[in-house]
Chains A and B, each alone.
Chain A
Amino acid sequence: MSSCSTKCGKKAVLKRPKTGDVLCKECFFEAFETEIHFTITRAKLFKAGMTVAVAASGGKDSTVLAYILKILNERFNYDLRLVLLSIDEGITGYRDDSLDTVKRNRDDYDMPLTILSYKDLYGWTMDEIVAEIGRKNNCTFCGVFRRQALDRGAALLKVDCIATGHNADDIAETVLMNILRGDLARLNRCTSIITGHGDGIARVKPLKYTYEKEIVMYAYFKQLVYFSTECIFAPNAYRGHARVLLKDMEKIDPAVIMNIIHSGESLTVNEEVNMPTLTKCSRCNHVSSQTVCKACVLLEGLNRGLPKLGIGKSSKAKKMIAEHDKKKYECSSSAENKQCICKNDPVGNSIDRKNDVTW
């Protein structure tokens, strides 16, 4: 039986993947919490008086993030107001269950909760989108819509920043994915601990250097309640392949996770590479690297019955939209309840009127 590396005399309960240290439960909690505190302070993620929305899915990462921000906020007097923000994608048997867990987080951690749905924001649930597009590119819709939905929720709640539960394994996985896809623009920014700063609501990743293994062990030893299942639509996602590759390599040497993140951070993209400049979407006014943002293009496709419109190169979609605009643009979506963002008020205003925003 190994004893704790700190020589505290207690029995070790886990081997840390990052350092190889073996720690007892108490020393592990201490190390885990203090490291996240250092990450937060070193990168100056928060300022006193801020309202921070924790993007909460009910899963392990966001549950641990909400819990840890609450205790660090109290222990180190961050002076933050913490709220929970959840997105209901409208996936029956998946998100409806996990939202029950978020509601438990709300009660356990005493944080107000707001749930925004794709149905309210876009007029479509993921179930309806999948019925339209099939199971090949559905994750593109979900990812693009969720990103924007969180921004809209954050604007609605007037928060200063959004904290997400991305962990070290997630970041390393994203670096790998962007390398495999040759997506240099994303590769360049995917390791940033603060994003969207200056042209929108800042997003921060306090768990950026925290290993998934430790998050799960922490939740287990602290008996935190979280929801775990596979998204019923996810098995075809490309990310899964990067994940398997990473987990196989991590088994050989857990340091690969940190090494990949470090490589990503140290990369400088060659000046000859054409980097997109951020501007505002001409339709919904949201931050975008294109004239029309990806969410509007995808939504336009759905509403016109051309769901594949936004899949693939943005230049193709731009051409299709331009051609259509020439024939005098008339938003087909005003019919029934399938609303188009382009007809909505700027961020937030239209959401206020919905009754089903819960607190």
Chain B
Amino acid sequence: MSVDTLPISIGFGGGAELLFGNKKNFAISLPVQEITKWQISDLLKWIQDNLLKERPELFIQDNSVRPGILVLINDVDWELMDTINYVIQPNDEIVFISTLHGG
């Protein structure tokens, strides 16, 4: 039986949500026809093409997130998960938190 989408949830916080129409949580399904192994770097491109509303340079830089944005994969620091090379699994929760916004 073939699965044709990869369902995951993504979240934005710490001010990063301001770039996404102030929406914090998204439930999305990634298409698996062209890409079978989705890595975080692929997800970032997908986010830029499909979700990012404004000023993409404030979120994405050099194939990764802009320095100062933290990423958690299932509540674990992505630095422990091979960062952009992590292979996304069904129902993963991926959260992007900006540290760049003041109070």
Please determine whether A220 and B100 come into contact, CB atoms closer than 8 angstroms. Answer: no
Known contacts A62-B103, A220-B72; is-contact A228 B80 (Cβ 8 Å): no
How many residues from A make CB contacts under 8 Å with B?
A: 37
Please determine whether B76 and A247 come into contact, CB atoms closer than 8 angstroms. Answer: no
Please determine whether A230 and B15 come into contact, CB atoms closer than 8 angstroms. Answer: yes
Contact pattern, A 212-240, Cβ under 8 Å of B = 1, otherwise 0: 11011100110000111111001000000
Please determine whether A57 and B103 come into contact, CB atoms closer than 8 angstroms. Answer: yes
Please determine whether A247 and B67 come into contact, CB atoms closer than 8 angstroms. Answer: yes
Question: In the assembly, what is the distance between CA of A213 and CA of B71, in Å?
Answer: 11
Interface 9-residue window, one of A8-16, A41-49, A264-272 = A8-16
Across the interface, which residues of A come within 8 angstroms of B95, CB to CB?
220
Question: In the assembly, what is the distance between CA of A61 and CA of B99, in Å?
Answer: 10
Q: How far is the CB of B14 from chain A (nearest CB, A)?
A: 5
Question: How many inter-chain contacts with C-beta < 8 Å in the A-B complex?
Answer: 76
Across the interface, which residues of B come within 8 angstroms of A15, CB to CB?
77, 79-80
Q: How far is the CB of B52 from chain A (nearest CB, A)?
A: 17
Please determine whether B103 and A60 come into contact, CB atoms closer than 8 angstroms. Answer: yes
Across the interface, which residues of B come within 8 angstroms of A59, CB to CB?
101-103
Query: Does B18 count as interface, using CB distance less than 8 angstroms?
Result: yes
Query: Does A58 count as interface, using CB distance less than 8 angstroms?
Result: yes
Q: How far is the CB of A329 from chain B (nearest CB, A)?
A: 38
| The residue from B13, B15, B18, B103 contacting A61, defined by CB atoms under 8 A apart | B103
Across the interface, which residues of B come within 8 angstroms of A226, CB to CB?
103
Name which residue of chain A comes closest to B77, CB basis: A14
Across the interface, which residues of A come within 8 angstroms of B88, CB to CB?
none
Query: Does A251 count as interface, using CB distance less than 8 angstroms?
Result: yes
| The residue from B14, B72, B97, B103 contacting A58, defined by CB atoms under 8 A apart | B103
Q: How far is the CB of A214 from chain B (nearest CB, A)?
A: 10
Query: Does B68 count as interface, using CB distance less than 8 angstroms?
Result: yes
Contact pattern, A 159-174, Cβ under 8 Å of B = 1, otherwise 0: 0000001000100000
Please determine whether A13 and B99 come into contact, CB atoms closer than 8 angstroms. Answer: no
Question: In the assembly, what is the distance between CA of A15 and CA of B71, in Å?
Answer: 12
Across the interface, which residues of B come within 8 angstroms of A228, CB to CB?
13-15, 98, 101-103
Question: In the assembly, what is the distance between CA of A212 and CA of B66, in Å?
Answer: 15
Known contacts A13-B76, A14-B76, A220-B97; is-contact A250 B67 (Cβ 8 Å): yes
Query: Does B49 count as interface, using CB distance less than 8 angstroms?
Result: no
Across the interface, which residues of B come within 8 angstroms of A250, CB to CB?
67
Q: What are 10 inter-chain pairs, A to B, with CB distance below 8 A?
A: A15-B80, A22-B80, A58-B103, A63-B103, A98-B103, A226-B103, A228-B102, A229-B15, A247-B100, A251-B67
Q: Which 10 pairs across A and B sit closest by C-beta, in order of nearness?
A: A59-B103, A57-B103, A14-B77, A228-B15, A247-B67, A228-B101, A15-B79, A247-B68, A251-B67, A216-B99
> CB within 8 Å of A: which residues of B?
13-15, 18, 66-68, 70, 72, 75-77, 79-80, 95, 97-103
